[in-house]
Structure 1
Amino acid sequence: MIVDSHLHLVFTRTQPWEPLVEKALHHMQMHGIEKTCLMPHPQFAGNIYPNQADMTFQAETLVEIANAHPDVFLPLLFINPSLPSAFTLELMEKYILNGPIIGAKFHISMIADDDRYEPIYDFLERHDIPLLFHSWYKTVQRTTFESTPADIARMARKHPKLRILMAHLTGAKLRGVQDIKALPNVYLDTSGSQPEEGYLEYALRELGSDRVLYGSDYPIRAFSTQLARIDSVDMSAEDRDKVLYRNALQFFRKGGA
């Protein structure tokens, strides 16, 4: 079994989700992927700060996809922390706590330890809802509010019961692995750029196989190259199963273990 922990659909009001899902399902079947995390990607849809109407549209679309394919997709609600927290909390209660959406996704809208996140973090922590957070160490083309692994680590120390999947092993690099090493509530997905030798082995050695989840970043990256990142590393069958699906099944569910 394979569960992909990092997948996007770039649906918009003018780009319906049905053909995108059909294409993704076809590619998943080709590579033996049975379940996947599912996130909208507002950056490539042209708006990293969606308004309340756009946030609601995203939530309702994720619900439609989840209801149409209940055993395939594990949807995450994109959060814009600059919106009024009362609206965001109401949206999360309706669509995550009492709906089919599994958890939350934070992108490049605000640095991870910004105080505007705090009511949202408290809600997620209180209800044991998983959070996926984009992060990257960059020397060029870093956006103003793009979090580094160090930013994720500062936030995670303040919220030790919050389950966090820090995205992009290749973006985190060796330094990012060390940033989160002492934080057992922070996991790491294997996505980010193209595979580079040594990073996955290092993450497994430093974090342990229980904290590493396979992710592709599809459709930005191909399933084939991202699965090759896993296949190329010598590990036990038990560790491979953890990375490919067991850890994801534990992480992407409401209420925890």
Structure 2
Amino acid sequence: MTDAIDAHAHLGSGFRPWRTDDLAADLVSTAADSGIGRTLVSTLGTRSLLAHPGPDDLRAANELTAAAVARFPDRLAGVVYLSPEHPRASLDELDRHVADGPFVGVKLWIAMRADDVRLDPLVARMCELGVPLLQHAWYKTVDGTPDESTPADVASLARRHPSLRIQMAHLGGAGKRGVADIAPHPNIVVDTSGGDPVLGEVDHAVAELGAERVVFGSDAPIRDPATALAKVLGSQLSERDRRLVLRENALRLYRRLSPA
């Protein structure tokens, strides 16, 4: 497989040092070495990871993503970072980078739970533009935050907005409980990121959701793309299902993403 699509990776300086000081170039070269053709990237802060970014923080983060995409247009695709705490600024960023720019989706992190109705103005605009939402979710017993979404919150959002296409992040953080939460909602897919490879994790998600509802995501640079790929390549999936997970589902979800 030489054309996999990594549907979940990050830029910014809030991560521990990786290969070099040029994270965008490192993502591109590491992905190429691993057989990944395209990587979808968002920036959660230019100097640190910002759980509650302000309008200026959002603009700076998305400009960093835009600059990286402009450098590597055939290898990187942008996902715009928004915050429902700042709806006007977020709508402006959505229009700037999606309606009037090349970005292919939206990223929401931990500023607000996914079941909060204050997301609705952003969701309405996402649906108008036809772009999906990459929503962070995790079941945590320690180190969680009050505004961090669980898979149950994502299921609530999907139930309220059945036309919104949602990529729920972190199969490794959702576990079997999270898979069960989202199973009734066909507008949700789950990505394979979150934690180290666990035997049977991807196989279980495919068995419960169908191969069309699981997409490959590494969460790089938090996880090396090669380690993340091991979750899928070490599964018992058929070649057809493996290709759906590694490539075809991302193209179907991110309709603005070029298949080249």
TM-score (norm 1): 0.92
Corresponding residue number in structure 1 for 2:24: 21
Q: 1:58 aligns with which of 40, 61, 70?
A: 61
Corresponding residue number in structure 1 for 2:224: 222
Corresponding residue number in structure 2 for 1:202: 204
Structure ranking higher on relative contact order (CA contacts 8 Å, 6+ apart): 1
Report % sequence identity: 37
Contact 2:193/2:217, CA 8 A, preserved across alignment: yes
Corresponding residue number in structure 2 for 1:250: 252
Q: 2:37 aligns with which of 23, 34, 37?
A: 34
Contact 1:3/1:33, CA 8 A, preserved across alignment: yes
Contact 1:130/1:254, CA 8 A, preserved across alignment: no
Output the CA distance in 1 between the equivalents of 2:141 and 2:59. Answer: 35
Q: CA deviation at 1:46?
A: 4.1
Corresponding residue number in structure 1 for 2:122: 120
Output the CA distance in 2 between the equivalents of 1:37 and 1:44. Answer: 20
Q: Where do 5+ consecutive residues of structure 1 fail to align?
A: none
CA RMSD, 1 decimal: 2.0
Letter in 2 for 1:222: D
Q: How many equivalent pairs are there?
A: 251
- SS at 2:83's partner residue? coil
Q: CA deviation at 1:18?
A: 7.8
TM-score (norm 2): 0.91
After superposition, where does 1:1-257 map in structure 2 within 5 Å? 1-11=3-13, 19-42=22-45, 45-83=48-86, 85-254=87-256
Letter in 1 for 2:93: L
Output the CA distance in 2 between the equivalents of 1:46 and 1:194. Answer: 21
Q: CA deviation at 1:44?
A: 7.8
- SS at 2:228's partner residue? helix
Q: CA deviation at 1:43?
A: 9.8
Q: Where do 5+ consecutive residues of structure 2 fail to align?
A: none
Q: CA deviation at 1:113?
A: 1.4
- SS at 1:146's partner residue? coil
Runs of 4+ in 1 over 4 A off after TM superposition: none
Output the CA distance in 2 between the equivalents of 1:143 and 1:178. Answer: 23
Contact 2:52/2:110, CA 8 A, preserved across alignment: no
Output the CA distance in 2 between the equivalents of 1:209 and 1:44. Answer: 37
Deviations 1:53-85 (A, max 9, x none): 1211122222222222112112111111111x2
